[in-house]
Structure 1
Amino acid sequence: MMKKYTCALLLLLSACWAGAQDLDSLLNLNAFTEESALQKILNKNVAVSAQKLSARETPGIISLVTAEEIQNSGARDLTDVLRMIPGFDVLQDLQFVMGIGLRGSWANEGKVLVMVDGQPFNDLLYQGVAVGNRFPVDAIERIEIIRGPGSAIYGGSAEYGVINILTKAANSLNGVAVYGTGGFHADAVGRTNGGVMAAHKSDDFAWDLSAFAGQGIVSDASPYADAIQQYDASDLAQTTQADPLNLNLGLRYKNLAFRTMYDQFETSDPLLDISFKNFFADLRYEWAITHKLKLVPQVKYYNQVPWTYGSKGETPDFEARATRLLTEVDAAYEFSRKASVNFGALYFHDNGDYQIVPDNFTGTRDLNLDNMAFYAQGLFKHRLANATIGFRYEKNNRYGAAFVPRLALTKKIENLHFKVLYSQAFRAPSLQNINIARTGDIKPEKSDVFELELGYQFTPEMLLSLNAFSISTRRIMIYGSEGTDDSFQEWYENDTKSGSQGLELVYSIRRKVWYGSLTYSYSRAISGNTVEVYEVPQTDRQYAGFPAHKVTVSTSINATPHFTVNPTLIYAGKRYAYTQLDDEDTPVSTELDPYLLANIFLNYRDLLPGLTAGIGAYDVFNERPAIAQAYNGEYAPIPGRSREYIVKLAYQINFKK
């Protein structure tokens, strides 16, 4: 088995390196010709950064994913996109709900902020984001990812990273587009998703409207029985679901902008139905007081019913409504071309209305939180380095205050760029963390994060970058439970320490007729971890569910001006997961084999004017890698999907200018 993986990877790496050598002799490199396709991507300002800097100088470790790359890869959902990003993984939380892991650590609850067109998707109860067959990837213009802390600018939901999703309708589309995706296993339909977008842009007035809906499954394994939860054997294609719905409307008149969105995600395991319902509204005004000073006052309102769960077809066992009203003023002042500052203040009020709770619920059925924050970040450009200095101070009426500084030195010097980054970051307790705190009191997490990146652009078409990171998190918030049925109790409490260290490498080539990317990720648990549920007995270098090593290769070859062939590979090393019970009904950890996900997608643009069609296969070798739980939470891994055949259609009509 390992020989097959090794041979496949060596062949592909050799092909990539041979292609790189064809670019030019490495002794005669010149990166100062006309801007290449790769440079056009790298030189774009990154919206997720507070300052207007390109990806190579932004004070963060950045990944950019374009609409072209998403379309060519045949990505079925956001899970497929994230798996191609260094350091990212997708693991199980509870009840077949999948969440985000980053750099070898479980990051789903408040450690990665996920935004769509400026609207945060982290739920107000737990600060988590359910992923899977949820986000409309075929409607995405680009994804900007910070692989590192974002708390100084974004607050207590961005401790380890930020994912900023920008849709076509809200950004580039000036017309009407429809799209659809079908996914088919040998004995089951994996997904049927579709959407429509319409947008019109002019200098003074713009509007956009999009709708996305679908049906899917979590897995097609059959028969399946969880050895820990002791389910009866069932066909997961019949007993699980992953059904998304998203409605998104934006309006802009001159500098006044309004956006509202409704998102619903219904999923399930063999016994329980789980649903997430989210409504967002955002009104903002960009006020250019002078050519140097700009203010952006805004008001946001969220109304959510997340994590509603209960037995299939019955009244839910848990249902809570969470609301937030937020007011913020963000400002930017440019002293000169070489000095600028972003600063602002905000206040929000959260309310948790617990409508249906178990009889043994220990929290308050009506919980209110008040929060204020001040932040600032200055950028000072020098011929030797760009210096970024920032901080955030946040105070809450229930958990007290948090202060986090941020320091960065970045610079692009001819072909070379470097980044030296230090940030403190925090994870703010959310409604449910506070409401069921074990001792009645819980404190914010605090992380110290050191990052170093070096990159070199060998030619206009080729870039190599390598970064190292160290994350140490104190007062880490941990979920715990004990008992069953009437005696069941659950809580949150602060544990002492967790975190990870590692390396990430990205090698990119972009030519006129093909492009490719090779990434490598390595992470290991820090010494001194005190969170027992993250640990496995086999090693102290890996947390439950995470591989230490991950390699990805993605390529796109223009066979004709309209037709592309797009193979991708994802290799992950061995993992450890709790898979069964021993004689004393204690979960036991076992080793999961390494896996190689090989995928192929064929894409044809302008099959007819405006029509794009694609077909491909995901998991060609039918490896079916299991989705492990990221901690010892008494759930065995979700069986991986079998080989899935993908069909995509998209049609776009552009309005005349």
Structure 2
Amino acid sequence: MNSLLIRTLSFLPLFVCWMEMVQAQIVPDTVYKPIGEVIIYGNRLQIPFEQQNRNIQILDRQQIEALPAKSINELLTYVSGVDIRQRGPFGSQADISIDGGSFEQTLVLVNGVKMLDAQTAHNTLNLPIPVDAIERIEIIRGPAARLYGINSLTGAINIVTRKPSHSEVLAHTYAGTGFKRDTSNNDELFNGRGVQLGGSLVGRLGRHAIYGSHESGNGYRYNTAFRNNKIFYEGEVPTNATSALSLMGGYVDSDFGANGFYAAPGDKESQEVVQTIMAAISYRTKLSERFSLTPRVSYRYTYDDYRYFRNDLSRARSQHYGHALNAEVNSIYQTNIGDFGAGVEMRRETISSSNIGVHDRNNYGMYAEFKTQRIANVLLNVGAYINYNSDYGWEVFPGIDLGYKLNDNWQIVAHTGTGQRIPSFTDLYLNQTVNVGNPSVLPERAWHMEGGMKYLGEHLSGQARYFYRNIRDFIDWVRSGEDMPYQPLNFSGNRVHGISSNVNYQFSKPSDQHRWSAGLAYTWLSPSIDQNDADEVNSKYAIESLRQQLTGNINWGFKGFSATVAGRFNERISYKSYFLADARFAYRFKPMELYVDAQNIFNMTYIEAAAVPMPGRWVSLGARFRFVPSKSNHSSLK
């Protein structure tokens, strides 16, 4: 067979034989902490997971390695309450929302640095982070203005990258196919493949890690070929016993066939090219035993090139160049009654676009926060974020989290908070035949309240909550007739009642030869829309949220063998419901791991966004390699 899949896999036996001759001392990949000890990566007050009153879920490194996923998009599909609507698989393009919100209402961060795209949130997940570089993913549900500022209207997703404790070299290669053929290209087998490389250096000059990846393939149907290149660097250089300089940077260059992505069926020959550069530098220092300060500067550049006719670039082409510069100072002051956090930030956004124009705006924010455990059995966190936008003026967003410990395991939790979403430049100024912006559209504002129970034990953890969210001036793209363009308008309100629950159980102890664990999560949503206009309109986004979502997984391990089976059921308001089942089977032997993934095992036909059919059954083979120098050649930093 002349497919690239077979040619790629033919190298695996030689690779394994060579690796068996490598004399390497293997140390644990990650020191896994109990979930309760994980510190949620906020920019301000640092709070362990077990003390959090917010509805927070975590995908840790152990889960990331076990799940049959090779992109951030795929990983997040296994989190209940998170709605990933992929137009293209293999990490090409996806919209993300939380608990029935729109894709513009969720803020994505990398190590606390905002990946906010002022052009459009369609580019939010265009990130230079290979999966092998991720330590964990934190999902914060509900408005998070007090934590992260504007545009975290329905929640935030923070991707925390790995902090190396020793020097090492990593390699990961994989290839897959759906066993269908491309009749338009010499009957070639549809396929995809990728390689991820990484390494870390730990020593007197600090800790440094760099990761790179390349993915490509001819897709899974006509004009869905893709190519993704990513590189990511992170470093930390200690300047003294209590201070350190942190550096982060990355670049991603992707292009993919966009058949049916935005304007089906006429966009059969469309293509999209996207590039992102991100960089951040921060300095963490303790000025005294009680007072710490962290200034940070970050930058993001985005290039988006949409080609309606990929073979004729002289017409129907949209090019956008966006820049965002963010500067902030965060501080923490510890006292006998509790911890105080305060800080300021400034953000400047600019765009130069062929069909949006040239625009810029400034945003300034400041916050104050206080947490205490001085009241018996009570965990209290209260604060406010004050925002000034050059286009919309001043706003204040207060919030409070409250928890009451019934005993060492059970806790009653409650939260109420507010948030804001500034319209994107696309909302305001887009000028196309079928989509027209509205400069008079106003920011969205949300109020959210929730309450429930939380349990955290040695083997069992879980929570169940009810929440209510009311969004005023909800923005949706609508039109009153088939011959009219879509245009954003402010509806009077978007209300959502919801129930979220999850439970995880570890059946075995870490020392057991047989290891069993399982997880189950369920989200129920009841959204409603209040319209200012009595006329009937066609909506792009208001009726596309999930009504029910059920996710579950079972994990088994014995010595070097492991298996994970994961399933998810989605019932969407405007589409047919569907159930997907995936699995990964792996065998680990020093210094290698071999695995096989089976995605969409039952070959279900389903749609997540627009008119884009997703792939059927897909099978992949992969191999990971890890080389660690001898113990005497690496050292750890505390």
* Same fold by TM-score greater than 0.5: yes
Alignment of 1:410-559 (within 5 A): 410-412=403-405, 413-436=407-430, 440-457=439-456, 460-480=458-478, 491-510=487-506, 511-512=508-509, 513-526=515-528, 528=530, 544-558=543-557
Which residue of structure 2 lines up, in the alignment, with residue 402 of structure 1?
395
Q: Give secondary structure in 1 for the equivalent of 2:40.
A: coil
Which residue of structure 2 lines up, in the alignment, with residue 640 of structure 1?
614
Which residue of structure 2 lines up, in the alignment, with residue 320 of structure 1?
320
Question: What CA distance in whole angstroms lies between the structure 1 residues aligned with 2:501 and 2:71?
Answer: 24
Does residue 343 of structure 1 match 2:342? yes
Which residue of structure 2 lines up, in the alignment, with residue 259 of structure 1?
248
Q: From 222, 227, 236, give the equivalent of 1:243.
A: 227
Task: Describe the superposition over 1:199-243 as per-residue Cα deviations: whole angstroms up to 9, x where unpaired.
Answer: 12246522221112212466x3xxxxxxxxxxxxxxx2x311343
- The 1:118–1:424 alpha-carbon spacing in structure 2 relative to 1, beyond 3 Å, is closer
Paired amino acid for 2:235: L
Shift of 1:155: 1.7
Question: What CA distance in whole angstroms lies between the structure 2 residues aligned with 1:477 and 1:408?
Answer: 28
Question: What CA distance in whole angstroms lies between the structure 2 residues aligned with 1:653 and 1:477?
Answer: 51
Which residue of structure 1 lines up, in the alignment, with residue 19 of structure 2?
none
Task: State whether residues 89 and 101 of structure 1, in contact with CA within 8 Å, keep that contact through their aligned partners in structure 2.
Answer: yes
Shift of 1:121: 3.1
- The 1:574–1:367 alpha-carbon spacing in structure 2 relative to 1, beyond 3 Å, is closer
- The 1:193–1:371 alpha-carbon spacing in structure 2 relative to 1, beyond 3 Å, is same
Q: Give secondary structure in 2 for the equivalent of 1:239.
A: coil
Shift of 1:373: 0.9
Aligned length: 560
Does residue 597 of structure 1 match 2:571? no
Task: State whether residues 132 and 242 of structure 1, in contact with CA within 8 Å, keep that contact through their aligned partners in structure 2.
Answer: no
Which residue of structure 2 lines up, in the alignment, with residue 651 of structure 1?
625
Shift of 1:483: 9.4
- The 1:174–1:419 alpha-carbon spacing in structure 2 relative to 1, beyond 3 Å, is farther
Q: CA RMSD, aligned part only? A: 2.9
Question: What CA distance in whole angstroms lies between the structure 1 residues aligned with 2:491 and 2:72?
Answer: 31
Paired amino acid for 1:523: L
- The 1:546–1:491 alpha-carbon spacing in structure 2 relative to 1, beyond 3 Å, is closer
Paired amino acid for 1:642: G
The alignment's TM-score, normalised by the length of structure 1, stands at 0.79
Paired amino acid for 1:260: G
Question: What CA distance in whole angstroms lies between the structure 1 residues aligned with 2:494 and 2:250?
Answer: 36
Which residue of structure 2 lines up, in the alignment, with residue 298 of structure 1?
296
Which residue of structure 2 lines up, in the alignment, with residue 610 of structure 1?
591
Task: Describe the superposition over 1:496-547 as per-residue Cα deviations: whole angstroms up to 9, x where unpaired.
Answer: 21132111111111123111101111111136466976869xxxxx963444
Which residue of structure 2 lines up, in the alignment, with residue 71 of structure 1?
65
Which residue of structure 1 lines up, in the alignment, with residue 21 of structure 2?
none
- In structure 1, runs of 5+ residues without a counterpart are 1-36, 221-235, 358-362, 537-541, 578-591, 630-635
Task: State whether residues 77 and 133 of structure 1, in contact with CA within 8 Å, keep that contact through their aligned partners in structure 2.
Answer: no
Which residue of structure 2 lines up, in the alignment, with residue 10 of structure 1?
none
Name which of structure 1's ranges 516-525 and 429-438 shifts more when overlaid on structure 2: 429-438
- The 1:130–1:566 alpha-carbon spacing in structure 2 relative to 1, beyond 3 Å, is same
- The 1:133–1:320 alpha-carbon spacing in structure 2 relative to 1, beyond 3 Å, is closer
Which residue of structure 2 lines up, in the alignment, with residue 283 of structure 1?
281
Q: Give secondary structure in 1 for the equivalent of 2:34.
A: helix
Question: What CA distance in whole angstroms lies between the structure 1 residues aligned with 2:607 and 2:379?
Answer: 44
Task: Describe the superposition over 1:465-499 as per-residue Cα deviations: whole angstroms up to 9, x where unpaired.
Answer: 10111111111222356999xx9866433222113
The alignment's TM-score, normalised by the length of structure 2, stands at 0.81
Paired amino acid for 1:326: N
Question: What CA distance in whole angstroms lies between the structure 1 residues aligned with 2:129 and 2:249?
Answer: 16
Shift of 1:407: 0.8
Paired amino acid for 1:565: A
- The 1:438–1:327 alpha-carbon spacing in structure 2 relative to 1, beyond 3 Å, is same
Which residue of structure 2 lines up, in the alignment, with residue 564 of structure 1?
562
Task: State whether residues 49 and 58 of structure 1, in contact with CA within 8 Å, keep that contact through their aligned partners in structure 2.
Answer: no
- The 1:523–1:156 alpha-carbon spacing in structure 2 relative to 1, beyond 3 Å, is same
Paired amino acid for 2:233: L
Name which of structure 1's ranges 171-180 and 257-266 shifts more when overlaid on structure 2: 171-180
Task: State whether residues 279 and 304 of structure 1, in contact with CA within 8 Å, keep that contact through their aligned partners in structure 2.
Answer: yes
Which residue of structure 2 lines up, in the alignment, with residue 155 of structure 1?
149
Q: Give secondary structure in 2 for the equivalent of 1:475.
A: strand
Shift of 1:76: 3.1
Paired amino acid for 2:94: M
Paired amino acid for 1:100: I
Q: Give secondary structure in 2 for the equivalent of 1:521.
A: strand
Shift of 1:650: 0.9
Task: State whether residues 145 and 152 of structure 2, in contact with CA within 8 Å, keep that contact through their aligned partners in structure 1.
Answer: yes
- The 1:97–1:544 alpha-carbon spacing in structure 2 relative to 1, beyond 3 Å, is farther
Shift of 1:644: 0.7
Question: What CA distance in whole angstroms lies between the structure 2 residues aligned with 1:349 and 1:335?
Answer: 34
Does residue 197 of structure 1 match 2:186? no
Shift of 1:341: 1.5
- The 1:557–1:242 alpha-carbon spacing in structure 2 relative to 1, beyond 3 Å, is same
Which residue of structure 2 lines up, in the alignment, with residue 25 of structure 1?
none
Q: From 367, 375, 384, give the equivalent of 2:359.
A: 367
Question: What CA distance in whole angstroms lies between the structure 2 residues aligned with 1:574 and 1:347?
Answer: 38
Identity of aligned residues (%): 17
Name which of structure 1's ranges 92-101 and 68-77 shifts more when overlaid on structure 2: 92-101
Q: From 360, 369, 384, give the equivalent of 2:377.
A: 384
Alignment of 1:84-233 (within 5 A): 84-91=78-85, 97-106=93-102, 108-109=103-104, 111-129=105-123, 131=125, 136-168=130-162, 170-171=163-164, 174-187=167-180, 188-202=189-203, 205-216=206-217, 220=220
Shift of 1:297: 1.3
Task: Describe the superposition over 1:66-108 as per-residue Cα deviations: whole angstroms up to 9, x where unpaired.
Answer: 12112112223223322221211222679994311321333x1
Question: What CA distance in whole angstroms lies between the structure 1 residues aligned with 2:191 and 2:367?
Answer: 45
Task: State whether residues 38 and 461 of structure 1, in contact with CA within 8 Å, keep that contact through their aligned partners in structure 2.
Answer: no
